[in-house]
Amino acid sequence: MITLYGIPNCDTVKKARTWLDQAGLDYQFHDFKKAGLDKGTVDLWLKQVSWEILVNKKGMTWRNLSDASKASVVSAATATTLMLENTSVIKRPVLCIKDQVLVGFDADLYKKSLNA
């Protein structure tokens, strides 16, 4: 089972979706703006990827947070709270392949991980 998490209007998510489509891979797209995101999913991601990778500190969402909000993100627990409250702060896309988690889009890594 392959699930791609993100938002449809994100350029990087669009690239990932195009790559998956061109590779002929069957996947489920989870729009976390519309469908939300639950703590269990984030906890599963955090078993494989650090919160420092999942929280996109280069994006506008992070930059628009108050200094106090930014300073409060110091652990997986506080990052999880932020990601659940504001999914736009998550680096996109997040690709889940069974129990493997890839963050961002890298065609070579996708190809290797998906044997495509």
pLDDT, averaged in runs of 10, over the chain (116 residues): 95 97 96 94 96 95 95 97 95 93 96 86
**Residue-level pLDDT at 92:** 96
Q: Hey, where are the domains in the chain?
A: 2-114
**Residue-level pLDDT at 23:** 95
| Count, residues in the chain | 116
The active-site residue out of 1, 6, 7, 10 is: 10
**Residue-level pLDDT at 71:** 96
**Residue-level pLDDT at 115:** 85
Query: Considering only CA atoms, which of 38, 29, 51, 43 is closest in space to residue 85?
Result: 38
Q: Which fold has domain 2-114?
A: Glutaredoxin (3.40.30)
Tokens of 55: 């929280």
Note if 96 is an active site residue: no
pTM over 0.85: yes
- Please write down the HEC assignment for all residues of 73-106: CCCHHHHHHHHHHCHHHECCCEEEECCEEEECCC
**Nearest-angstrom CA–CA distance, 105 and 92:** 8
